[in-house]
């Protein structure tokens, strides 16, 4: 058996879906910075300056620190 390095996949069940409004003039750079900050980007909506994706709960606060982020809306979940 080889000693290969591997990374454990993220637990996508514990991810928070977010919609991020960003500075449209820097959309690509901001989307990349969001990725580096832990956002698993699902879609980039260039026409409206929105990046949507999922983030681990412990990384959500860090997204607000990314230069070019105007607002973040987290998906609300309800349990019955």
Residue 64 backbone dihedrals phi, psi, to 5 degrees: -65, -20
pLDDT, tens digit (0-9, with 9 covering 90-100), for 22-54: 999 999 999 999 999 999 999 999 999 999 999
- Please state the pTM of the whole predicted model: 0.78
- How do residues 55-71 score in pLDDT, each as one tens digit? 999 999 999 999 999 99
> Three-state SS for 33?
helix
Q: 57 Cβ partners below 8 Å, 6+ apart?
A: 14, 15, 16
Q: What class has domain 13-74?
A: alpha beta
DSSP state of 80: -
Task: Kindly give the residue spans of alpha helices, DSSP state H, lying in 10-56.
Answer: 27-36
For 35, left (φ over 0), alpha (ψ -120 to 50), or beta? alpha
Residue 31 main-chain phi, psi, to 5 deg: -60, -40
């Amino acid at each position: 058996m080889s000693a290969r390095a591997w990374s454990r996949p993220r637990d996508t069940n514990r991810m928070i879906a977010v919609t991020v409004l960003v500075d449209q003039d820097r959309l690509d750079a901001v989307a990349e910075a969001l990725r580096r900050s832990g956002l698993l980007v699902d879609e980039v909506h260039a026409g409206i300056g929105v990046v949507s994706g999922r983030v681990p709960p412990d990384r959500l606060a860090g997204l607000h620190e990314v230069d070019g982020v105007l607002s973040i809306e987290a998906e609300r979940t309800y349990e019955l």
